């Protein structure tokens, strides 16, 4: 049996991550930026979780986005950390809700309002095509659906794209009354 030598880390030892070696460009295949649920566990949260608990959990996990599921683990929507903000909770309180009774399902983006791209379509697209689609639709994220197998296959998030491309990525959401109100009251 060999005896291995232990040593202290040098000042130049850096943490290696896959993104450091994967050269991602706008012409890279779109599937290279999909968080594919066949290979990585989706981040999920139960819709009955209190909004305050969900916010704390997501902050601790440094997680921006979670799929919302019901008791049967069926996807019912998506929740972004911004949707759990104090302003969002206060809007519910103003409408008569008790602050402690506000759940993730009350603040999430319902499944009916979530946009998706077809996995089959992405097989022939580039990252630039995906960015253009997200920008033209004012979407920060979208699901990836395998239409042949009727499965939610993955997720694309603009923040992940920007990090992989090492460049800022601006996606302007369509203005709504609530977004204008929030920006004025902030």
| Domain annotation covers residue 19 | no
| Domain annotation covers residue 160 | yes
Domain that holds residue 114: 26-173
Cα–Cα distance between 57 and 176 in angstroms, integer? Answer: 28
Least confident of 6-10, 28-32, 58-62: 6-10
Q: In whole numbers, what is the pLDDT of the chain averaged over residues?
A: 88
Q: Per-residue pLDDT tens for 137-185?
A: 999 999 999 999 999 999 999 999 998 898 898 887 665 555 455 545 4
Cα–Cα distances in Å, from 2 out to 5, 9, 140? 10, 21, 52
Q: How many domains does the chain have?
A: 1
| Domain annotation covers residue 60 | yes
Cβ partners under 8 Å of residue 174, min gap 6:
138
**CATH code for the domain in which residue 64 is found:** 3.10.580.10
| Domain annotation covers residue 21 | no
| Domain annotation covers residue 8 | no
Whether the model clears a pTM of 0.75, i.e. scores above it, the answer is yes
What element of type H or E holds 88? helix 86-94
At 15 the pLDDT is: 72
| Domain annotation covers residue 181 | no
**In the sheet where 35-36 sits, what is the strand order?**
35-36, 151-157, 141-146, 116-118
Alpha-carbon 96 to chain mean position = 30
Q: Per-residue pLDDT tens for 92-134?
A: 999 999 999 999 999 999 999 999 999 999 999 999 999 999 9
From the CA atom positions of the chain, what is the Rg in Å? 20
């Amino acid at each position: 049996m060999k005896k291995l030598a232990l040593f202290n880390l040098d000042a130049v030892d850096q943490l290696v991550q896959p993104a450091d070696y994967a050269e991602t460009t706008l012409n890279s295949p779109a599937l290279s930026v999909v968080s594919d649920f066949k290979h990585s566990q989706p981040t999920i949260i139960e819709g009955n979780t209190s909004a305050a608990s969900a916010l704390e959990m997501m902050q601790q996990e440094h997680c921006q986005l979670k799929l919302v599921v019901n008791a049967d683990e069926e996807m019912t929507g998506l929740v972004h950390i911004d949707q759990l903000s104090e302003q969002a909770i206060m809007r519910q309180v103003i409408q008569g809700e008790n602050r402690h009774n506000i759940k993730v399902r009350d603040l999430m983006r319902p499944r009916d309002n979530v946009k998706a791209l077809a996995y089959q379509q992405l097989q022939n697209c580039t990252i630039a095509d995906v960015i253009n689609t997200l920008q033209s639709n004012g979407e920060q994220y979208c699901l990836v659906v395998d239409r042949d197998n009727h499965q939610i296959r993955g997720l694309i998030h603009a923040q992940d794209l920007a990090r992989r491309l090492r460049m800022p990525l601006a996606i302007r959401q369509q203005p709504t009354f609530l977004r204008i109100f929030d920006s004025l009251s902030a």
